[in-house]
Chain A
C-alpha cells in the first residue's frame, strides 16, 4: 500500500510538479494535448484513471517535449463532452486529445473531431465507436469484441464451463458487453442459462444471485461496474455459491478489490487488457511505482491504456509529427510497443487486440495473470 496522502495535497503536489516540469522542458514548439474525461459524476473513478494515465505520460515525455495540457471535465453527458471538445479546440490547436471512455460521449465527439481534424485517443471499450468509418478515433483498450471473446473463451475453454449465468449492468458499458458476450458464447456453442440486467443503483444482490443460482449455472459471468461487482462478489461469497466467477474489467480495478476481503476473492477471475499492479516487467513496475507516488492510488488497465495511447502520440510528436494529421497517420499506420501490449491499428482505430484474464488466489488483493489472449480476432 502506498503512503496515505489526502487527494487535495496530492493535487497541489501534482500541479507543482507539472509546473516544475514545464519549466525544465527544452525550448521546442509547445504541444497541446487536452485531457477531456469525466472526473465528476458516476464515471469519475474510471475518468480519473484516464486523467492520471494521460498526465503521467505527459510528465514522462517532459525531457523530450514541451506539453501544454488542460484537464477538462466532461461530466457524463454527451453535451458535456462536445462542449469540452469545443473548448479545447477553441483555446489552441490540439495535436490530439485524451478522450472520455464513456461510449455515448465518444459518439457525440466523433463528428466534431472529424470536422476539426483532431485525433481522439481513448480507452473506451464500449459502443461502436470504431465502426463509424471515422479516421480520427484511436482506442488503446481492447474493444468489447476482443475482451468479451477472451472472457467467453476463458469460461468455456479453460474452465470447461458450458452453463454460464450472465449478469450485466443496464448501462452503456453493460449492454454493449452483454451483446458481445452473447455472440462470443454463441460462437463457442454455449447458450447462457440466465441473463439479467441490473441497475447500478441496486444495493442488494441477493435476489439476482438467487435467481441466477436457480437456473443451475456452472459459472457466474459478470459484466458490472466497480461497486456492483464488489457487491455481487461479496454476496456470492457469503452465500457460498460454490461456482467460479469470471467478472468484467471492473473487477481488475484495485479499487474494486479494496472493497473486499482477500478470502472473498478466492476463485474470482476478471477480464482486462492488463493488470499493472500485478507487475510482469520492469517497465510496468516502474509505471506502477510512478503512478502511486504521483497520484497516491493504484493504477488500473484504463490508466495504463491511456498512458500508452498518449505516450504513442508524444513519441510521434518527439519524432517530428507536428500536425494532427501527422499524428493520425502515425497512429493509424505504425506499430508502437507500449507497456501493456504492442499497439497497431486494425484500420478502424482499434489499437489493442490483446486481452488478459487475471485471477485472485484468496490470499491477496493483487491478481495474477491466468491467461493471455493475443491478437484476438474480432467478430
Chain B
C-alpha cells in the first residue's frame, strides 16, 4: 500500500496524526489529555455518523440519541450490576443498533427532511423516557458512580492510559469504517446519494444500504456514548439532548462530510476550539461561534474536503492509471436453452396506471424480443416515460403483469427487476455529477461482480467499447451532452441486460452523434439485447426500429413496422400529422 499512503492528503494526515500522538505522549498535561479524550469520543460518534449522513446522504438526527442510549446502558449496568467493560461495552453498542433496526422499517422509507423529523421525534421520546423513568435512569439527576474502564482486571487509569485507550478505539473504528466503506459498498454510495432513482435501476438495493448505514451509525454512536459514560463518570439526560446532536453534525460538516479523516480532524478541532477561548468567561462562546462561521466560510467542503480541493489545484496529481479492460463473461441466464425467437425476453400484459384523476397508462401490452428494437412514440404526456417507469418498477402499476424470460416479476422492487436483466437510461441523463465516468459505469457492475477490482475492469471494457476511454477520469458533471449520453449507454450496456429501455437517447445530440448512437444500438441488438426506445426524433428512430408502438393518452393506438405506422391514419391524426 505504499502508493496509497503517498496519495492525496494522506502524507499530510499521517503527519498530523504523528504530531497529535507526540502531543499526547509528551506535551499534554491531564487537562490536555482530558480534552483529547473527549475529542476521541466524539470522533468515534462522528465516524459512525458519516455512514448514514455522509455516505448514505440521509440527514439523521438520531445520532445523539444512539450516543445517549449507549451512555445509559453503560451507566445503568456499570453502576448497578457490577459488569465490567467487556460486558457493558458490547451491550452499549448492541442496544442502539437494535433500536436503529427496529425504527428503520417505518423511518427509512421517508425522504430527506421527513426522515430527519422522524429521527428527531424518536430522539425526543427517548429523552422524555430518560427524564421520567426515574427508577431506571435516575431521572433528571441521572446516574452517578459509573466506574472507570475495567477490562479483564486491567483498570484504565485517567489521563494518558484513558486517552490512549480511547484513541486506539478511534483508530480501530476508523479502520473498520474504511473496510466497510470501500470496495463495492463504497462505490455504491455516491450513486445512491446523488441519484437514488438511477441507483435502484442499476440493481443497487439502496434500502438495504441505508439500513446498513443506519445500523452502523447507531453502533458507533453507542460505542462513543459508552466511553463518555466512563470518562465523565455520570450519565444524565444531557447526553440525549439536542446539543450533542448539533455537535456531532457540526463536527461532521466542519471536518468534511462523508470522510473518516474529516470526522477525526473535525472532532479534534471543535472540541479544542472552545477551550482556547474559555478564559473569557461568558463571552467566549461568541468567539467560538465566530470561529465556526469563519471556518465554514473558508472551508465550505469541510476542512478535509477543502484541503483536497486545494491540493488538487496546487499540485495536480496524475490520475491513477485506468484499469485494464477485460470483457466480462456472458450473462448467465436461468434458461440457457432459451430459444432465440419464440418466447419474448420481456412481456408486458395490460399495464394500467392512474395519477390522481389522470389515467396515464391504460391497458398497454408489449413484447420485447431478443435482438429486436421496439420504438415507442406518442405525443407529450401520452405515457411513454410512465411506461418505462412501470416496467423498471419506479412506479407501481395499478393493473397488469410483467414477465422477463417467462418469469413473473410484477411484484419485484426496482433493483430486483434490474438484476433480472432490465436496464434503462433516463430522459435527463441521471449521472452523479461528482463521480468520474469510470466510477459511474463501475456502479453498474457492483451488483454483478464479486469485487470492486473486477467491476472496474469490466466497466472499463464497456467504456472502451463506447469509445470514451479518454474521458475515464472526467467528472460526469463536466461532460457535454453527447458524451453524457454515451456514458449512460455504456452504463446500461455494462449491466449486460436482457432488455434495455432508453428514454429519448438522441435528444440534444448532433447528427454525427445520432448516427454513431444508432450504430451502437444496432450492434447491441445484434448481440442479442432486446431494446425499447422512447423517442420523438423520427428520422433517428424509424430507420433504426424493427417495430413501432404508438401511444396516445395512455393507450396503444397502433403497432407495426415503421413503414405501416407511417401510414396509419390514427397515428397520423394523433401525432405525425
- Establish whether A and B are touching in the complex (CB under 8 Å): yes
Cβ B238 vs Cβ A104 within 8 A: yes
Q: Which residues of A contact B285 (CB under 8 A)?
A: 40, 73
Cβ B31 vs Cβ A83 within 8 A: yes
Q: Which residues of B contact A79 (CB under 8 A)?
A: 38, 228, 231-232
Indicate whether A104 sits within 8 Å of B142 (C-beta atoms), given known contacts A83-B35, A90-B31. yes
Cα distance A133–B88 in the bound complex, in angstroms: 26
Cα distance A115–B157 in the bound complex, in angstroms: 12
Say yes or no: is B132 at the interface (Cβ < 8 Å to chain A): yes
Say yes or no: is B482 at the interface (Cβ < 8 Å to chain A): no
Cβ B30 vs Cβ A104 within 8 A: no
CB distance from A91 to the nearest CB of B (A): 8
CB distance from B246 to the nearest CB of A (A): 13
Cβ A90 vs Cβ B236 within 8 A: no
Cα distance A171–B236 in the bound complex, in angstroms: 10
Say yes or no: is A89 at the interface (Cβ < 8 Å to chain B): yes
Please, what's the 1-or-0 string for B247-285, where 1 marks a CB less than 8 Å from any CB in chain A? 000000000000000000000000000010011011011
Cα distance A127–B139 in the bound complex, in angstroms: 11
Say yes or no: is A132 at the interface (Cβ < 8 Å to chain B): yes
Count of chain B residues near A, Cβ 8 A: 32
Q: Which residues of B contact A171 (CB under 8 A)?
A: 140
Say yes or no: is A176 at the interface (Cβ < 8 Å to chain B): yes
Please, what's the 1-or-0 string for B21-37, where 1 marks a CB less than 8 Å from any CB in chain A? 00000000111101100
CB distance from A106 to the nearest CB of B (A): 9
- Looking at B30, B144, B145, B228, which has the most chain A CB atoms within 10 Å of its CB? B144
Cβ A82 vs Cβ B34 within 8 A: yes
A170 in complex: contacting residue of B140, B279, B281, CB < 8 Å: B140
Cβ B232 vs Cβ A108 within 8 A: yes
CB distance from B552 to the nearest CB of A (A): 59
Say yes or no: is A323 at the interface (Cβ < 8 Å to chain B): no
- Describe B's contact surface by its main secondary structure: helix
Say yes or no: is B537 at the interface (Cβ < 8 Å to chain A): no
Cα distance A87–B34 in the bound complex, in angstroms: 9
Cα distance A176–B142 in the bound complex, in angstroms: 11
Q: Which residues of B contact A48 (CB under 8 A)?
A: 282
Cβ A77 vs Cβ B140 within 8 A: no
Say yes or no: is A26 at the interface (Cβ < 8 Å to chain B): no
Q: Which residues of A contact B282 (CB under 8 A)?
A: 39-40, 44, 48, 73
CB distance from B231 to the nearest CB of A (A): 8
Cβ B141 vs Cβ A127 within 8 A: yes
Indicate whether A70 sits within 8 Å of B232 (C-beta atoms), given known contacts A79-B38, A172-B140. no
CB distance from B156 to the nearest CB of A (A): 14
Q: Which residues of B contact A197 (CB under 8 A)?
A: 132
Give 7 CB contacts A-B under 8 Å: A73-B281, A78-B236, A83-B275, A107-B233, A126-B141, A170-B140, A172-B142
Contacts from B to A (Cβ < 8 Å): 29-32, 34-35, 38, 131-132, 134, 139-142, 144-145, 158, 228, 231-234, 236, 238, 243, 275, 278-279, 281-282, 284-285
**Which A-B residue pairs are the 6 nearest by beta carbons?**
A90-B31, A107-B144, A104-B236, A39-B282, A86-B31, A172-B140
